[in-house]
Amino acid sequence: MILVFGSINVDLVAPVPHLPQPGETVLGGDYALLPGGKGANQALAARRAGSEVVLAGAIGRDTFASIALSLLRRDGVDTRLVRELDRPTGCAAIMVSAAGENAIAVSPGVNSETRSDWVPDELLDPRTIVVAQMEVPFGETASLIRRARMRGARCLLNLAPALSLDPGLLSEIDLLVTNKREAMTLGPDPVELARRLRRGLVVTRGAAGAIVLLADGSALEVPALSVDPVDTTGAGDTFVGVLAAALNLGSSFEQALSRASAAAGLACLAYGAQTAMPDAEAIDVAMVRLPVVAPHLSRMP
């Protein structure tokens, strides 16, 4: 089982010809209100990839709440640990350029109230993979990771957004997943950082694929699926959710990385985060077009 602890948002997505510069107003096309939030996105990606998924988080008592949970409930994510509180549901304002690039601003709202003690101990055992991000209070995330490790669960942390990370937590984390920009905030020596993790550091690089720095000092290069992107929103969350799902379902580490990379590419082919996430069958088909994971000779991502 996968236990996702994280944010639940509504995304206000506006297509624009190009991302505005400071002080610039850009006229775009029709906006859409879509379900999002890194926690919810990763939960849905893992569920569509075939895993049993429980999501712990918070929504408000407002009209955005039903939008935020709509696809999670439709696709069978277990939302019993999602609490309804008296603050606004989280919201992200997303601009998507004609080239598929995005700029995102997030108002956390009720996500700031998410608490680790909402997750009961009985859901944390060696059969569980805990997946977390940085859009809910990090102290609560750290508390859950430590509790999960004490009970034998595996832990995957996505350092997004790139906020300060307690160095003492590294030894409790199996996999730390970042993008290239987020990885730069971790210090000058990612190889040394990877050695402090239980399994390693995964650095996603968009169309260049991903580099995995393992705790034993070796590295892997994960190719990207070749696509013409429509919207890259949610591709990183898709990578994380599918990686966790593949590991949970018994794939080898290399195969899990390949499935995550293929799914992330597919998630760039439509607008929105959750609305673009592929299912297991689509990932299977895309895997045929993806080169294999191979050893990486460079020390730096």
Which of the residues are catalytic? 237
Q: What span, in angstroms and rounded, lies between the C-alpha atoms of 201 and 203? A: 6
2 burial type by CB count under 10 A (0-12 exposed, 13-18 middle, 19+ buried): buried
- DSSP letter for 34, please: E
Strands 78-85 and 53-60, by their bridges, are parallel
Strand partners, 54: 3, 78
Strand arrangement, sheet containing 200-204 = 78-85, 53-60, 2-5, 129-132, 154-158, 175-179, 200-204, 210-214, 219-222, 294-295
- CB burial readout 281-295, b (16+ within 10 A) else e: ebbeebeeebeebee
Q: What are phi and psi of 28, to 5 degrees?
A: -120, -165
Tokens of 79: 């939302």
54 half-sphere exposure, CB direction, 13 A CA radius: 15
